[in-house]
Structure 1
């Protein structure tokens, strides 16, 4: 998911340099959403992993 966020960020930078501001804005919004979604999923899995580890040991 982070890879997709980076891909959309690169697309946004290239589109911005070429003057396609609408496409660049949309790509930035998608990249931001994917980054924060990946961050939330990481945090949830980290908490779940820590709680399971405490119960197993």
Structure 2
């Protein structure tokens, strides 16, 4: 089984970052911050500018 070390080259990644300018957007217009933290679960939730949610602990 041959697993690549990286999916795209560093140069391709840099080019995509310059073209797309990724950012976080607000989960809800009612929130003043794009970051939502749940103290009970310890989970932080963000949303990418393309609408994809990101959760991490």
* Greater Cα radius of gyration, structure 1 or 2: 1
Q: TM-score range by the shorter chain?
A: under 0.3
Decide which structure has greater strand share. Answer: 2
Decide which structure has greater helix share. Answer: 1
Identify the structure with bigger relative contact order (alpha carbons < 8 Å, sequence gap 6+): 1
- TM-score for both structures, normalised by structure 2: 0.23
- TM-score for both structures, normalised by structure 1: 0.23
